[in-house]
């Protein structure tokens, strides 16, 4: 097994990824937008961490090292990339345990995310939770056809009241719009992404959906994507004056359609704010999804092999 790769960025002020890591990510097999060098660097800057990339054999797993020495996965739904063979994932598991790190990993519902969670828990890691993640498989003719009737009615209501949806690159006002919504929700500080974060995401394949009503932008949704998968990353709805009814449903619905137009196979909408099946955000997203898969959160306490 190979030892830990050189730390990509120890400078938490710049959070920049080295050319070596960009080459690694550029050659990734089975990874997602959350393993891209640009996303890792933006995430590191946001939380004041450094990117570390673990490679064991043919499996690679980017992580963030925090100032207290603990490691976490990036915000989103990351997964190891490279080989997805059982032997490779077990080698990655053993390498993570051998180093004795304190690690919290929130993993993609797509393989090899579940496989790594299973292997870690089989060797003493704690399962912190399983959260249902809403996924929309994109029908080639009409991606909105599978929507639940409640979602379809909400989109229809917004349209009847004059709301329109527009797809564009990330706009300069989105960051402030999003943070205003986080204030209304009394969100935790980690969710207050600075404009610098959004500027960095603009270098990734992405699109923004803006739903406007008679008072201006009513809702916005930011999607990140690769060739196969589109991820609903961040979104917000205007609180005052109250957004038109159905604004967020229209934003996500148009985002799903745009993912299909860009050639994606699936749109991943995420889950709720909790693991509960009656979580309001989860039940809202479920109306737009065709299936649900669990994502696992696991924790290694450190201390090395036991």
**pLDDT of the residue at 19:** 40
Residues 97 and 189 in one domain: no
Mean pLDDT of 250-262: 98
Confidence of residue 216 (pLDDT cuts 50, 70, 90): very high
Residues 179 and 221 in one domain: yes
Residues 205 and 222 in one domain: yes
Please report whether residue 144 resides in a domain.
Answer: yes
Residues 106 and 204 in one domain: no
**pLDDT of the residue at 23:** 37
Please report whether residue 231 resides in a domain.
Answer: yes
Res. 175: pLDDT tops 80: yes
Mean pLDDT of 53-68: 96
Residues 259 and 149 in one domain: yes
Residues 120 and 151 in one domain: no
Residues 59 and 158 in one domain: no
Q: CATH number, domain at 184?
A: 3.40.630.30
Res. 28: pLDDT tops 60: no
Please report whether residue 23 resides in a domain.
Answer: yes
**pLDDT of the residue at 31:** 84
How many domains is the chain built from? 2
Q: Distance between CA atoms of 211 and 206, rounded to whole angstroms?
A: 17
Res. 10: pLDDT tops 50: no
Buried b (16+ CB within 10 A) or exposed e, 151-184: bbebbebbeeeebebebeebbeebbebbbebbee
Prediction pTM value: 0.91
Res. 69: pLDDT tops 50: yes
Please report whether residue 61 resides in a domain.
Answer: yes
Domain encompassing residue 258: 139-264
């Amino acid at each position: 097994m190979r030892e830990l790769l050189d730390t990509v960025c120890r400078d938490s002020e710049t959070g920049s990824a080295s050319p070596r890591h960009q080459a690694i990510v550029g050659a990734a097999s089975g990874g997602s937008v959350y393993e891209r060098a640009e996303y890792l660097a933006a995430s590191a800057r946001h939380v004041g961490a450094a990117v570390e990339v673990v490679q064991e054999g043919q499996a690679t797993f980017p992580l963030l090292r925090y100032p207290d020495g603990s490691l976490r996965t990036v915000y989103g739904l990351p997964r190891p990339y490279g080989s997805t063979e059982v032997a490779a994932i077990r080698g990655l598991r053993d390498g993570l345990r051998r180093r004795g790190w304190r690690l919290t990993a929130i993993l993609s519902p797509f393989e090899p995310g579940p496989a790594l969670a299973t292997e870690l828990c089989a060797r003493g890691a704690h399962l912190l939770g399983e959260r249902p993640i809403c996924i929309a498989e994109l029908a080639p003719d009409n991606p909105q056809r599978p929507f639940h009737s409640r979602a379809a009615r909400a989109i229809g209501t917004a349209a009847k009241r004059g709301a329109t949806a527009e797809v564009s690159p990330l706009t300069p006002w989105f960051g402030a719009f999003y943070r205003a919504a986080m204030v209304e929700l009394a969100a935790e500080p980690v969710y207050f992404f600075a404009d610098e974060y959004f500027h960095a995401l603009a270098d990734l394949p992405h699109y923004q959906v803006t739903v406007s009503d008679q008072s201006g932008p009513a809702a916005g949704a930011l999607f990140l994507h690769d060739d196969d998968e589109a991820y609903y990353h961040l979104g917000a709805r205007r609180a005052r004056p109250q957004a038109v009814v159905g604004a967020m449903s229209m934003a996500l619905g148009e985002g799903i359609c745009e993912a299909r137009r860009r050639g994606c196979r699936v749109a991943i909408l995420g889950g709720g704010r909790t693991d509960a099946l009656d979580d309001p955000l989860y039940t809202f997203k479920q109306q737009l999804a065709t299936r649900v898969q669990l994502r696992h959160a696991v924790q290694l306490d450190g201390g090395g092999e036991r």
